[in-house]
Amino acid sequence: MLKLYLFFILILFVKVSAQGQADYGVFPQEQEFYRGGKIKLFDKIRTLLKDHNLQPCEDDQQFYTASVLIRENATAVFVKDFDSANIARNRCAYDMFRKVLPHLKGWVPAEVGGKPTAAIAEVRFIPADHFEEKRFHPNEFTKQPEFPGGFAAFQKEFGKNFNSKSVDSDAKTISIQVSFDVNELGKMENIKVTGDHNWDLAVAAVAAVQRITMRWKPAEVNGKAVKASMRLPISMRFR
């Protein structure tokens, strides 16, 4: 009798592509992408804002998350953002970060297999924080999205909605990656499959995610709900 095992994990991520270039991987979470860490990056940005006489945004709730491609030679470039609505809502923060970025020189490339590798880092920029006299604490900076009941509850809901009988394959193991956004209201949207994949598994996995109606507690940055991207690697083993 054919037996099937389903494995999956959930990872917070941001996956973007520089226009006209191949896809780059996400910067490894366990590695620092700026020399001295996020505290040093925060301090350097604050110094640059003063040096260039940049002024606070009129709206102190302005916030922008930039995707920065850090190359093997430790140089960095801004990755084009196609979310024009978000840019319009946070135009001051967006413009300010674009002005500061060329002057940040402490980038550290990702290390994969002992070699420097180009990867994309996510830099969260809240202008108001840099004009206040307070110390930056990276662990208090963000809150990850939370599913009601935690990951075990999400796993249960996914498994309940997943139709394994619709999946067929000659291979012993097949894998895909499903990505989706959790928006500011906690709803899952923009569900899609990335990379090479088994068609049956892709359709079944996307359908399973779409059938989940419970809302997430959205990600937060300094108490403000923000959109976050998620990745769901899924593997099925037949024997």
Q: Which helix (H) or strand (E) holds 93?
A: helix 91-100
Of residues 35 and 112, more confidence is placed in 35
pLDDT at position 19: 37
Q: Output the pLDDT for position 134.
A: 59
28 versus 16: which is more confidently predicted? 28
pLDDT value at residue 187: 93
The whole-number average pLDDT for the span 36-62 is 90
Going by pLDDT thresholds of 50, 70 and 90, the confidence category of residue 97 is: very high
Highest mean pLDDT among 83-97, 129-143, 144-158: 83-97
113 Ramachandran zone, left/alpha/beta (phi>0; psi -120 to 50): left
Could you count the other beta carbons within 10 Å of the beta carbon of residue 220? 17
Q: Is residue 229 very low, low, confident or very high in pLDDT (cuts 50, 70, 90)? A: confident
Residue 80: pLDDT above 50? Answer: yes
pLDDT of residue 145: 86
Query: Could you give the CA distance from residue 142 to residue 144 in angstroms, rounded to a whole number?
Result: 7
Q: Which residue has the higher pLDDT, 133 or 190?
A: 190
What confidence tens digit (pLDDT) does each residue in 143-158 have? 778 999 888 888 889 8
Q: Which of 64, 67, 58, 61 lies closest to 23, judged by CA?
A: 67
The pTM score is 0.56
CB count within 10 Å of CB 15 equals 15
Paired tokens of 200:
């049956």
* Strand 119-125 with 25-26, pairing: parallel
Span 201-219, average pLDDT: 90
Size of the chain, expressed as the number of residues it contains: 239
How does the average pLDDT of the chain come out, rounded? 81
Q: Which residue has the tokens 């930039």?
A: 66
